[in-house]
Copies of this chain bind each other. A is one copy, B any other.
Amino acid sequence: MRSVIRGPSGEKVGNALDVPADPAYTSNGIPIPGMTIRWLVRGEDGAPTYAMRLFESAPGAEVEVHAHPWEHEIFVFRGSMTATVGSSSYELEEGDFIFIPPDVAHGFRAGSRGATFICTIPLRPTAQR
């Protein structure tokens, strides 16, 4: 499959690497050197609930620790990365996943081979207030 298709029933289908890569930003709005984001599925595509993005990180690229009132569900497709969650850190490799609850501080640093990972987020805050 070589292009991203919108089908007659509203489906969207394609190769993740054929979705345009945008710069990835920190929670302060600063571009992250060596990291891109591809929005595979988002609200504009008709997704009602959550979005699926593909991040690609060069070796050592880092998302600083931050928090927000919504969760992440992440799956590592290629490479490796260190995930910091609250006071813990985890080494993740291909086929690993992580759930980060709302409002929990978290950050990432790609390993020596870089990292490519799926990161999903809800379309609106979900924390119980």
Interface residues of A (CB under 8 A from B): 1, 5, 7-17, 40-41, 45-50, 52, 70-71, 73, 75, 77, 83, 85-88, 90-93, 95-102, 104-105, 118, 120, 122, 126-128
Contact = CB atoms under 8 A, between A and B. Distances in A.
A15 to B, nearest CB: 5
A47 B101 CA distance: 7
Given A13-B83, A83-B13, A1 B91 contact: yes
A13 B7 CA distance: 35
B77 A50 contact: no
A73 B120 contact: yes
A48 B122 contact: yes
Most buried by B among A9, A40, A47: A9
